Amino acid sequence: MLRLLSALVVTTSLLSCGVVHSLAAEPATPMYDVIIYGGTSAGVIAAVQVKKMGKSVIIVSPDKHLGGLSAGGLGWTDSGNKAAIGGLSREFYHRVWKHYQQDEAWKWQPRDEYGNKGQGTAAIDGEQRTMWIFEPHVAEQVFEEFLKEYDIPIVRDEWLDRTSGQGVTQQSGRIAAIRTLSGKSYRGRMFIDATYEGDLLAVAGIDYHVGREANSKYNEQWNGIQVGVLHHGHWFKQPVDPYRTPGDPSSGVLPGISAEPPGVKGEADHRVQAYCFRMCLTNVPENRIPFPKPAGYDPAHYELALRVFDSGWREHFGKFDPIPNHKTDTNNHGPFSTDNIGMNYDYPDGSYERRREIIREHEGYQQGLMYFLANDPRVPEDVRTAMAKWGLPKDEFIDNGGWPHQIYVREARRMIGKYVMTEHDCLDQKETPESVGMGSYTLDSHNVQRYITPEGTVQNEGDIGVGVPRPYEISYGSLVPRQEQCENLLVPVCVSCSHIAFGSIRMEPVFMILGQSSATAACLSLDAKIPVQALPYEQLRTRLEADGQVLELDIPAKPSAKARNLEGGVIVDDAQAKYTGNWTHSGANGPFHGYGYHHDGNEEQGKKSARFAANLEPGRYEVRFSYPPNGNRSTKVQIQIHHVGGATTRSVNETQSGDIDGMAISLGTYTFEDEGVVEITNTGSDGYVVVDAVQFLPAE
């Protein structure tokens, strides 16, 4: 939901009335050119760039450890196309590579045994080697070395004052200083909010959003509530009973299941995608800490896991991704796993104490799950025996018993800034202005709720995985607020974008890219004595390119493995069609032409249509219609071909494969003047109506 300044006062006690706090009593407070709030990967890289540009900087970090998720267990880098990663972000991964060239880096595993997994063969300039898979302590060490090498001051365990009204001082539309809970003030000319939560932008009164926007907000397909959409496999493939006593709703629901209605597909809600800890695990006995039994452990919390096992599911090791030295980056996998679904809704706007409660609850849930899987006699023996071989590493997170110090905040606040990135930018459906970096990862959202279906079974909702056709540009306008709200703040993490666009942007290499670009813009704006919104883009672009940032790539869109493109004649893809009603893009089934297809969601029969129009030379053409068949399709899809003689209606059974290469069907041969039009409707349909492409093939 949109949080305006007044809403901050009421709902989060951020008390923006305090932004007029005077610094007159503190003349000795030093002044910095740039103040960075947050010690995440973006914050560290931003600070390095500021120093490289000859400006003074300080990192004010609420955390004791540097690097956020990059040093917090996310060692299996979600990177997408690595050619889109340049500048200091690539430098980070180069330094990781250099670390693993040392023999002493391989304590628990021979280097040859691990091989070259995660190593780039060459960087964009043909010289720098990279390593994209690493242990948490290695990443933290690299970030600490950055600070030492560039002599960057940092204050740790300093938390922005969000409750007393003293957190941000503003003067003439600019932030003048920030104050922490310890009472310390930090004065600066430019500010960067590099936190996962967006606390500085919120206290400063910048507009932001929490939760999923309705699809109608930005004319998107993948943003709002996703009931009925099943992508990654993080869903219940077999019917599983949700009640404590199977079949008896009066007995109540099992833990982790909501009894509330899930909402309407495509509509907005307040929910955010699930959090977890990216555990680093090891199976080396000498380095292994057996999974601890957490305080308050209750095996009843994992009854649903037993029912999943009873359904035949055995993919529990699917995301034990191997990193060096016989360790893993372990992520959520499957219908019941480390994601603590539905337990984080209060986190983005929550007080520090409320956030600590949520973090403790997540820690107890996940530690309890691992203990349960390794020890409970009701867990299938094959699972229990295999899981008991794993544990926490003694040499990671050594001040926290081997447990990660950073919870995976997949999404919190998102600024509503000068430009809002949407799925249209990510899916290459529009031209994105003023690129300051690139993203290339899948539109990815984890589940946001677990609910009861009308059939009385449990199901997860919110999991999305839609591939992007090529690396896409990220706009400078998404890093800055609207000028009337603040002239000297940049936001490289909680960027201005929709929920589903953030699902792709939210990758650690991208945060580092945007951290460098934010710092560059801050320094150039300081030199020019102008608001960050007024910085000439060509000036910014010149410096970014000089520093190795990748702002655009001439890479053709890469089709899915399920694609089998039509050839010959004039082809109109589903991306070029004109739609009436809300159609959904997908790529779950193949074969298809291009990068996927559209379907009607098996909803609102008679109210949806898709119009495929082609400019043609006058003559006769065979018209072919392409669709990926499936048993849930309509057996009577109504198609109308508009030609010189009028209109001809055909009915197609989409449960059956087309007779042309298994993907298309001939609709007949017709005479056209200068335009051919084919219109598909869902009138009278008895299943999903799918449209992929229409081909006009000249007839001999």
Q: What is the DSSP string of 68-85?
A: GGGGTT--B---S-GGG-
CB burial of residue 329 (10 Å; 0-12, 13-18, 19+): buried
Q: What is the pLDDT of residues 268-316, one digit of tens each?
A: 999 999 999 999 999 999 999 999 999 999 999 999 999 999 999 998 8
Q: Reply yes or no on whether the pLDDT at 660 is more than 60.
A: yes
- Checking if the pLDDT of 164 tops 80, the result is no
Residue 15 confidence (pLDDT) above 80: no
Name residue 624's beta-bridge partners.
666, 695
The predicted structure's pLDDT at residue 627 = 96
What is the SS3 string spanning 123-174?
A: CCCCCCCEECECCHHHHHHHHHHHHHHCCCCEECCCCECCCCCCCEEEECCE
Distance (Å, whole) CA 562 – CA 566:
13
Q: Say which residue the tokens 């792709």 belong to.
A: 504
Q: Give mean pLDDT, residues 679-698.
A: 96
Rounded Cα–Cα distance for residues 493 and 621 (Å)? 52
The number of angstroms, rounded, from the C-alpha of 599 to the middle of its chain's C-alpha atoms is 24
Could you tell me if residue 430 is left (phi over 0), alpha (psi between -120 and 50 degrees) or otherwise beta?
beta
Q: At what angle do helices 41-52 and 136-149 cross, to 10 degrees?
A: 20
Q: Whose structure tokens read 């600066």?
A: 188
pLDDT per residue as tens digits for the range 323-345: 999 999 999 999 999 999 999 99
pLDDT value of position 123: 41
Give CA angle at 461 (456, 465), nearest 5°. 140
Task: Give percent of the chain above pLDDT 90.
Answer: 81
pLDDT in tens, 375-408: 999 999 999 999 999 999 999 999 999 999 999 9
Higher pLDDT, 29 or 532: 532
State yes or no: pLDDT of 22 exceeds 70.
no
Q: What is the model's pLDDT at position 118?
A: 79
pLDDT at 557: 66
pLDDT of 12: 34
What's the confidence (pLDDT) of residue 603? 86
Whether the per-residue pLDDT at 108 is higher than 50: the answer is yes
Q: What is the pLDDT of residue 535?
A: 98
Give the model's pLDDT for residue 664: 94
DSSP assignment of 292-340 equals: P--TT--GGGGHHHHHHHHTT---TTTTEEEETTTEEEE---SSSSS--
Tell me the C-alpha to C-alpha distance, in Å, between residue 680 and each of 599, 612, 692: 11, 8, 11
pLDDT at residue 1 tops 60: no
Tokens describing residue 591: 């074969």
Half-sphere exposure of 8 (CA within 13 A, CB side): 27
Decide if 319 contacts 266 (C-beta within 8 A): no
Q: What is the mean pLDDT of the chain?
A: 92
DSSP conformational letter for 274:
P
Read off the amino acid at residue 243. Y
Predicted confidence band at 558 (pLDDT cuts at 50, 70, 90)? low
Does the pLDDT of residue 21 top 60, yes or no?
no
- Residue extents of the structural domains in the chain: 1-24+31-290+300-312+319-558, 570-698
Residue length of the chain: 700
Element holding 93 (H helix, E strand): helix 87-99
Tens digit of each residue's pLDDT (9 = 90 or more) over 51-71: 999 999 999 999 999 999 999
The CA dihedral of 219, 221, 226, 229, to the nearest 10 degrees, is 170
pLDDT greater than 60 at residue 370: yes
DSSP 101: T
Q: Can you give the pLDDT at residue 128?
A: 77
pLDDT tens digits along 570-598: 999 998 888 888 787 777 788 999 878 88
Asked if the model's pLDDT at residue 5 lies above 50, the reply is no
pLDDT of residue 232: 77
> The tokens of 403 are what?
């447990």
Sheet of 690-691: strand order equals: 584-586, 597-599, 690-691
* Per-residue pLDDT at 214 exceeds 80: yes
Could you identify the residue written with the tokens 């799925």?
423
Instruction: Please report the pLDDT score of residue 596 as a whole number.
Output: 81
User: From CA 461, how far away is CA 234, in angstroms rounded?
Assistant: 9
Helix axes 537-546, 508-528, angle to 10 degrees: 120
Whether the pLDDT of residue 23 is over 70: the answer is: no
pLDDT at 433 over 90: yes
Confidence of residue 212 (pLDDT cuts 50, 70, 90): very high
CATH of domain 570-698: 2.60.120.260
Position 363, amino acid: E
> Mean pLDDT throughout 79-105?
95
